Structure 1
Amino acid sequence: MTTYLWNPPAPAALRVQDTDARLPVHRLFFVGRNYHAHAQEMGVTVDKATARPFYFTKSPVHLLDSGATLPYPPETTNFHYEMELVVVLGQGGARVPVERAHELIYGYAAGLDMTRRDVQLRLRDKGHPWCLGKDVEGSAVCGAVRPMPATALAQGDIVLEVNGVVRQRADLSQLIWSVPELISDLSQYYHLQPGDVIYTGTPEGVGAVQPGDRLHGRVAGVGEVTLTIGAHA
């Protein structure tokens, strides 16, 4: 029996729709610039013919359940929302061909990638890693997972409202790289595992929030995610 110097943290886990069971999370992957209009609003043009997806990661300890209040984080004055479809894997695999990638899927959720945008852009412009802009405490917000084994979602509305006003709206058919393409591509770099989670990218319309703001996002056929921005931490 292992003796620890202090109590280890509880394992990261997600709620699952219509059950009290929690889904254990292994890793969090995030896809950058996966809608053309969002890439353009970030000052970048993506040519799928010559590019591959790119990714960043967040620590699973930064997962936050839908419905929570997230304190406005320190060291930023430009804290942004990014509404995303979240894919949860139920099987592992490496070097998975695109035509079999859907077999790894357990289900989906609606999620928010919260970002210190001013910090991210400052680091990006200096050629530094984005960690301090993206790997923010509580910044991987996720709704309950809807089990949809081996289902590759290819269309459906994705919408985010801030204080009741629509700020982001797109269709999953506008993803530059589809869900199977993302899973297959990631599996070239990693031995994917059950509990790996992929945030698939955000549509155009990202913007800043302030303390007291209420966010409500939804993905058709999948579920919802809500978040309240709390006082400055």
Structure 2
Amino acid sequence: MNMTEYVFTPDLPVTLPVAGSQQRFPVGRVFCVGRNYPWPDTQGQSRLPPVFFMKPASNVVDAQGEIAFPPLTEEFAHEIELVVAIGEGGANIPEDQALAYVWGYGAGLDLTRRDVQRTAKSSGMPWEGAKVFDGAAPITAIVPVSRAGHPDGELWLNVNGQERQRDSLDSQIWSVAEIISRISQSVALRAGDLIMTGSPAGVDVLQPGDIVNAGIDGIGQIEMRVGPRT
């Protein structure tokens, strides 16, 4: 049998722990949904089509220890989000079948260079520079659907003991099933893909030394300290 020869040794796959197991969940692509909860400046607006962007799998880290403060920003912001872990691939998935493609759920932080994002928006440029950097997506252990079902509680985030974000998963403008169906109409989903489903109002900046406590009822909790500026 011929063995593939690489020009250099490839990195090991990115993985996340599985709650209650020694197994790890292999991460493929990371899809992110923008503005999927009512914010004060969107109250009363009609439901607009969801906006998707991506983070590379290399940005995913276990949600423990230190949050690395990224370079090139003065407004390093937190966003607590429900993370959907896809366990079966498919394209053009009907909404009423979409939840069958979910393997499990996690709680994650979509960390953002908010000032970079604002500049990109005002210039009509892509958001990648705001959303993509080392450690930009800390995520908890994945809880299998077979163990906990589909969550319907609250998600929340505190900084130094002060609450900044809290909302119900039922407040999502686009449901998990709708999001899965929409993405699969654009690109075939694969086992291992993650979907970060948007963050409620209350997004604010983080400073070195801040203690972040966050979580989602029935899914997982995060406690991390923000590291020094780099």
- Measured in 1, the distance between the counterparts of 2:95 and 2:126 equals 29
Q: Deviation digits for residues 133-160 of structure 1, max 9, x if unmatched?
A: 011211111000100149443x211111
Report the CA distance shift for 1:2/1:139 in structure 2 as closer, same or farther (over 3 A): same
Aligned residue for 2:107?
110
Aligned residue for 1:47?
46
Normalising by structure 2, report the TM-score.
0.94
The secondary structure found in structure 1 opposite 2:58 is: helix
Give the alignment partner of residue 193 of structure 2, picking from 186, 196, 199: 196
Q: Please give the residue correspondences for 1:66-77 in structure 2 after superposition, counting only pairs within 5 Å.
A: 66-77=63-74
Deviates most, 15-24 or 4-13: 4-13
Q: Deviation digits for residues 22-60 of structure 1, max 9, x if unmatched?
A: 11011100000000126x2xx797521xx2111000010
Q: Please give the residue correspondences for 1:78-227 in structure 2 after superposition, counting only pairs within 5 Å.
A: 78-149=75-146, 151-153=149-151, 155-227=152-224
5+ residue gaps, structure 1, are none
- Measured in 1, the distance between the counterparts of 2:162 and 2:125 equals 35
The secondary structure found in structure 2 opposite 1:72 is: coil
Q: Deviation digits for residues 146-175 of structure 1, max 9, x if unmatched?
A: 00149443x211111111211100000100
The secondary structure found in structure 2 opposite 1:232 is: coil
- Measured in 1, the distance between the counterparts of 2:71 and 2:118 equals 16
Whichever residue aligns with residue 171 of structure 1, its letter is S
- Measured in 1, the distance between the counterparts of 2:215 and 2:226 equals 18
What's the RMSD between the two structures over aligned residues?
1.6
Whichever residue aligns with residue 227 of structure 1, its letter is M
1:152–1:180 CA contact under 8 A, matched in 2: no
Moved over 4 A (4+): 43-46, 149-152
- Measured in 1, the distance between the counterparts of 2:36 and 2:90 equals 23
Report the CA distance shift for 1:92/1:166 in structure 2 as closer, same or farther (over 3 A): same
- Measured in 2, the distance between the counterparts of 1:176 and 1:106 equals 22
Report the CA distance shift for 1:29/1:46 in structure 2 as closer, same or farther (over 3 A): farther
Number of aligned residues: 227
TM superposition shift of 1:223:
1.0
Report the CA distance shift for 1:231/1:142 in structure 2 as closer, same or farther (over 3 A): same
Deviates most, 27-36 or 223-232: 223-232
Give the alignment partner of residue 33 of structure 1, picking from 35, 44, 47: 35
5+ residue gaps, structure 2, are none
The secondary structure found in structure 2 opposite 1:208 is: coil
The secondary structure found in structure 2 opposite 1:186 is: helix
The secondary structure found in structure 2 opposite 1:207 is: coil
The secondary structure found in structure 1 opposite 2:9 is: coil
1:102–1:151 CA contact under 8 A, matched in 2: no
- Measured in 2, the distance between the counterparts of 1:68 and 1:125 equals 35
Whichever residue aligns with residue 46 of structure 2, its letter is D
- Measured in 2, the distance between the counterparts of 1:45 and 1:102 equals 28
